[in-house]
Amino acid sequence: MCDQSHLITIRQPSPEYVILDLCGFVNAAFARSFESISGSLHNLVAPNVVINFSEVRGMDGLGLKHLLVFCTIMRKLNRKLAAYGVNSELRQIFSLMHLDNLLRTCENEFQALGLKEGKDG
Amino acid sequence: MGEDQDSGLPGWDDGSVFSDCPAIPPRVLKLLRNRPPRAPFEGFGGQFLRTYRVTLPGVALSPEQIFSRWMENFPATWPAGNHFIPCAPELTPGVTAAILLSMPLGMRIVTGARVIYRDSVSLTLVTLLGHMFAGLITFSVTTDGVDPVLQTQAFVSPGDPMYDLIFRLGMGQRGEDQFWHSAITSAAWLFGVQASAQQENRTISSQLQWRYFGNVWYNAGIRSFFNFYGRSFEKTLSRQQPGTA
């Protein structure tokens, strides 16, 4: 699924959810993809955005910044954010930056898609 | 970007608690204790992405060599009267640094930042609670295809209502821009390049974060006022025991 040709792939399993599959090492190269996705999501009515980190190999400081910019824009658009596939190293960064205040971390895709019934991210 | 990208997440701060730091005078250190890092969304004001760049034409060094020299001389590139004092000889992940800022009218601000990430061509600082900004500042070296480029990029939010007001009045932004223009052009001078900085501003969100109104309790400007107003940081630092600063 993750062949590095697309850094972020969008899936829409239902009208209410959009899943973003991130691929590879999250760094400055993701800036353009996040920006393009932000534009696309602006026109979609799906109120929930789920970020899949399962295929993420790592992240650098600029990658974290672009992720935060993206999440901030989504919150501004009143999208609820969730994440899954977050490995222990990424959890360390999430904890360091208090990302739980910005997006809800779930164990798997199924749980993330239950966001609507769960606690607001 | 880093060279060890395949082995987990090297280069990140492990989140250990900031303890003692002999390089920092005790009266400065007390203003840094119990000040957790603050992400950009944990400030009171809107969120802004401000980027400063300087191209180094004709510099034949690799981005890694340039970045290494920049970081070795990082405190020296700060504008006169301002100090960046790391708690360790090298800026590695987890290192906390004191930031001493000389402002107009004798105002002094003592605050801090922490290195949360470093690789061979970039370093990211996160500011501590009480700083004018909550957020991340990344220093990096890239190329524009031909020449190396120094970049400072801040994704920040005014930390509390007082700072937000100052920034809305335009005073904070002007000072912040002057500061980083000066710092990055000084960094370029390390490589014999005299250049002006290019700047790009982007407003990510202008929404106020009322839940962080209480950050004002830790406002470093207010807390520094009584100890440092009108005083010389140089004198404070020179009183440190020899060999500890």
Each residue's pLDDT tens digit, A47-57:
999 999 999 98
DSSP label at A27? S
What confidence score (pLDDT) does residue A2 get?
A: 72
Say which residues have a Cβ less than 8 Å from residue B169's Cβ, sequence separation at least 6. Answer: none
Over residues B157-175, mean pLDDT: 89
Q: Is residue B232 part of a domain?
A: no
Whether A62 sits inside 8 A of B14 (CB atoms) is no
What confidence score (pLDDT) does residue A70 get?
A: 95
- Comparing alpha-carbon positions, the chain A residue that sits nearest to B211 is A101
Over residues B111-121, mean pLDDT: 96
Residue B185: count of CB within 10 angstroms of its CB: 19
DSSP string covering chain B: --TTTTSSSTTB---PPP---TTS-HHHHTTTTT--B--GGGSSS-EEEEEEEEE-TT--S-HHHHHHHHHHTGGGGSPTT-EEEESSSS--TT-EEEEEEE-GGG-EEEEEEEEEEE-SSEEEEEEBTTSSEEEEEEEEEEESSSSEEEEEEEEEEESSHHHHHHHHTTHHHHHHHHHHHHHHHHHHHTTT---PPEEEEEEEE----GGGGGGGGG-HHHHHHHHHTT--HHHHHHTSPTTT-
B159 within 8 A of B134, measured Cβ to Cβ: yes
What confidence score (pLDDT) does residue A21 get?
A: 96
- What is each CA distance from B76 to B8, B69, B70, B72, in whole angstroms? 33, 11, 9, 9
pLDDT confidence band for B245 (50 / 70 / 90)? very low
Helix (H) or strand (E) holding A47: none
Q: Is residue B5 part of a domain?
A: no
Q: Is residue B96 part of a domain?
A: yes
Q: In total, how many domains does chain A have? A: 1
Q: Is residue B45 part of a domain?
A: yes
CATH of the domain at B121: 3.30.530.20
Max Cα-Cα span within chain A: 34
Q: Is residue B237 part of a domain?
A: no
Q: Which domain holds residue B106?
A: 34-222
Contacts of B137 in chain A (CB under 8 A): none
A16 within 8 A of A81, measured Cβ to Cβ: no
What confidence score (pLDDT) does residue B130 get?
A: 93
Stretch 155-214 of chain B: residues touching chain A, C-beta under 8 Å: 155, 204-205, 207
What confidence score (pLDDT) does residue B57 get?
A: 95
* Low-confidence stretches of chain A (pLDDT beneath 70): 1, 4-5, 115-121
φ, ψ dihedrals at B192, nearest 5°: 75, 15
Nearest to A69 among B5, B142, B155 (CB): B155
Q: Is residue B207 part of a domain?
A: yes
What confidence score (pLDDT) does residue B230 get?
A: 67
Sign, Cα dihedral of A121, B205, B39, B30: negative
Q: How far is CA A118 from the centre of its chain?
A: 17
Which residues partner with B50 through β-bridges? B154, B201
- Comparing alpha-carbon positions, the chain B residue that sits nearest to A25 is B5
What confidence score (pLDDT) does residue B25 get?
A: 85
B201 within 8 A of B50, measured Cβ to Cβ: yes
Whether B2 sits inside 8 A of A76 (CB atoms) is no
B62 or B223: which carries more pLDDT confidence?
B62
B178 or A45: which carries more pLDDT confidence?
B178
What confidence score (pLDDT) does residue A61 get?
A: 95
Q: Which domain holds residue A21?
A: 8-112
What confidence score (pLDDT) does residue A114 get?
A: 81
A117 within 8 A of A55, measured Cβ to Cβ: no
CATH of the domain at A62: 3.30.750.24
A43 or B114: which carries more pLDDT confidence?
B114
Q: Is residue B28 part of a domain?
A: no
Q: Is residue A1 part of a domain?
A: no
Residue pLDDT, tens place only, B183-213: 999 999 999 999 999 999 999 999 999 999 9
Q: In total, how many domains does chain B have? A: 1
Whether A61 sits inside 8 A of B116 (CB atoms) is yes
Contacts of B1 in chain A (CB under 8 A): 25, 27-28, 60, 62
- The yes-or-no verdict on residue B2 having pLDDT over 50 is no
Instruction: Give the distance from residue B38's alpha carbon to the nearest chain A alpha carbon, in angstroms.
Output: 7
Give the mean pLDDT of chain B.
Answer: 88
Instruction: Give the distance from residue A38's alpha carbon to the nearest chain B alpha carbon, in angstroms.
Output: 12
DSSP string covering B129-156: TTSSEEEEEEEEEEESSSSEEEEEEEEE
Q: Is residue B104 part of a domain?
A: yes
The interface predicted TM-score (ipTM) is 0.86
Which tokens is A76 given? 């501004």
Q: Is residue A3 part of a domain?
A: no
Q: Is residue A61 part of a domain?
A: yes
What confidence score (pLDDT) does residue B143 get?
A: 92
Over residues B155-180, mean pLDDT: 90
Instruction: Give the distance from residue A12's alpha carbon to the nearest chain B alpha carbon, in angstroms.
Output: 25
